[in-house]
Amino acid sequence: MQRKHLLALGLAAAVTSVAAYAQKGGLLRGDTYRAEPVRGLSADLKNYPEQGLLSRRASQPVVAPIKRAPITAKLAPPIYDVTESDVYDVHSFGRYVKWLGLTSAFINIQTGCPKPTTPDEYCQELNPTVGGVTSFTFNDAARIHLPKYATNSLLCYWFAPVLTVTYNNPTATRAIGRLHYTPTLTVENPVLSDPSLIDPTTGAPFGGSLLTSMTASERFQEALEPGVTLNERNRDSAVCMAGLLSHKSLVENYGLTPAQADDFFASPTTIRLNIGGSTQYVSNASLVFGLRIVGD
């Protein structure tokens, strides 16, 4: 049995937060540790203009539009006579949840990375400097390929990290051990190859994909006395609220027309998980990230 299937049992309970913190101990004077910003947009987060500065993608070249057969599928009408002021999410109200796939990524942060044994396994070499920050970025760490017509108006994530961390302070003074990570999702869809569609986070054409943030970033801190080694395991989950993408957000946040949003959900879509972050005074970490996608 593949390891990603073993994660299915742990995805039921979920809690949503813009940024979850587990902090024990304060900052040290002269500390140079910096948090990474949440990047991109999602239906869960308001579309603030300054988010355009947070995109990590460079401007995309103009791409010729892809010739596709006309899409005849349209957004299904609401099942019940409700309004946005009643339930906000009118399009999916009353519809059953559709299970749209499960994937996972296994990330190790250690000294002496071994050769990966599976395609979903990654490793980051630790910074050998005592107290130095180890940064890591793994784009396309896991992915789900959805066929056309997979969902009606909504894509939503269930995100379940399992984190095993060894903090270590080999110095003669007090230190703060830290682990921080930020997940994002890259969403690829043929509709986004239209060069007339401009990504509001970059000011350039989408180039076939967009980058969304997730309300699942976390930061952990542990106060470490001299010579102390501390093992810690954390397990929690997060789910989206308004969706990582919805028909409404494609129109209001990303500038698609209602017809283009219809076309989006009638086209095949690939969702790729990206994980970035950093550690300090950590001698070893095993980070397992389970991702499930659901729709309506």
pLDDT at 243 (0 to 100): 79
Distance, in Å, from the CA atom of 40 to the CA atom of 52, rounded to the nearest integer, reads 8
If you write DSSP's letter for every residue of 25-42 in order, what string do you get? S-PPTT----PPPP-SB-
* CB count in 10 Å sphere of residue 239: 19
Residue pair 72/87 in contact (Cβ under 8 Å)? The answer is no
pLDDT at 73 (0 to 100): 57
- Domain definitions of the chain by residue range: 92-296
Residue-by-residue pLDDT tens, the chain, 296 positions? 444 433 433 433 333 333 333 333 333 433 444 444 444 555 554 333 333 333 333 333 334 444 444 455 577 777 667 676 766 677 777 678 999 999 999 999 999 998 888 888 999 999 999 999 999 999 999 999 999 999 999 999 999 999 999 999 999 999 999 999 999 999 999 999 999 999 998 999 999 999 998 888 899 999 999 999 999 999 988 888 877 899 999 999 999 999 999 999 999 999 999 999 999 999 999 999 999 999 99
Distance, in Å, from the CA atom of 269 to the CA atom of 266, rounded to the nearest integer, reads 9
pLDDT at 220 (0 to 100): 95
Helix residue ranges, H only, the chain: 3-6, 84-87, 247-252, 258-265
Give the CA distances from residue 292 to residues 54, 155, 180, 209, 296, in Å, rounded to whole numbers and listed in that order.
25, 10, 22, 20, 14
Place of tokens 């999602």: 42
Q: Name the maximum alpha-carbon separation found in the chain.
A: 69
Q: Which two tokens stand for residue 28?
A: 């040290």
Task: Say which residues have a Cβ less than 8 Å from residue 6's Cβ, sequence separation at least 6.
Answer: none
Q: Backbone phi, then psi, for 264, in 5-degree steps?
A: -55, -50
Distance, in Å, from the CA atom of 154 to the CA atom of 259, rounded to the nearest integer, reads 15
Q: Which two tokens stand for residue 228?
A: 């102390």
Distance, in Å, from the CA atom of 53 to the CA atom of 221, rounded to the nearest integer, reads 27
Beta-ladder partners of 294: 99, 156
pLDDT at 45 (0 to 100): 44
Distance, in Å, from the CA atom of 127 to the CA atom of 201, rounded to the nearest integer, reads 32
pLDDT at 242 (0 to 100): 75
pLDDT at 64 (0 to 100): 43
Q: Backbone phi, then psi, for 153, in 5-degree steps?
A: -145, 5
